[in-house]
Structure 1
C-alpha cells in the first residue's frame, strides 16, 4: 500500500496513503473539484527554502500537519466519506530536477504518461467511503480541472519523473 516518487528528483520519497486520513491537508472528494479548491496551491518560495534549509542543516524531519486528536464526531465522518490529497506538497519535498520533462505512472495494469504540470495539478484519492483502496489502489489520480473525474488513473504504485 505504498507509492514511490522517484526518478529525476533530488529526494526520492515513499508515500503511505493509509496514514493520510489523519493529515489536515486532505480534502473531501465532493469538495475537491469546486472552483475555490481546484486552484493551484501557491506555496511561498521563501517558505519552501526555509523548509529545505531546516531539513538539510538541522536534519529535522518534515512533519505533515496532523491534529493531535480526532474528535468522536469527526471519526464517524472519516469512516463514511471519500478523501483526496493534493500531490504538490510531496513533489515540493522531493524537489523535481530541472531537466525532468514527463511523468510515468506505474499502475497495476501498465503505465500511463502525463506531463509534470498535470501531476502538479492533481489530487490523489486514497480513501473511498472511509476505506483504503485495496482492490484498485493504493491511489487514484484525478486532475484538479476534473477532466478525468469519471475515469481517474487507478492502481498507481510508482510515480517516476523522467
Structure 2
C-alpha cells in the first residue's frame, strides 16, 4: 500500500474540473489558497536557432566558403546564360525551350534561397537564424521545389 505522502494520495484530492470553479481560487496540495495572479502562460517562445555548421575548424570553413561560392556563381552564370540565349534567339520559340528557360529561372531562385545564408554562416563564428528567417526560407524552398516538380511534370507531358 502507498504511503499517504505519495502522488497517489495527492491525486485523490485533485478535483476533476480544471480550471477551478472560482477564478480567484486554486487547489494546491489539497488546500484552497488565494490565486495570487497566477495566470498560466506559455513563455517558451523560440526567437532564433543556433546552427551547428559543417565544421568547427575556421580554416576548413574558409576553404568550404570558396568552394561553395564558386559553385553558386557557376549556377547563377550558367542558368542566366540559358535564359538569355533562349530569350534572344529567334530559332528557339518551341515549348521545350520555354520550359527549359523557366526551369533555369526556378533553379536560380531555388539555389538563391539557401546558398547566401550558408555562405554567410561559413564566415561567422556564431551561426544563428531567426525564427522568421527560418520560416521564410522553408516557405520559399518548398515553393520553388514544388514549382520545379510541376514544371518537370509539364515537360515530361510535353515530350
TM value normalised by structure 1: 0.26
**Higher share in helix:** 2
Larger RCO (CA under 8 A, 6+ residues apart): 1
Q: Whose Rg is larger?
A: 2
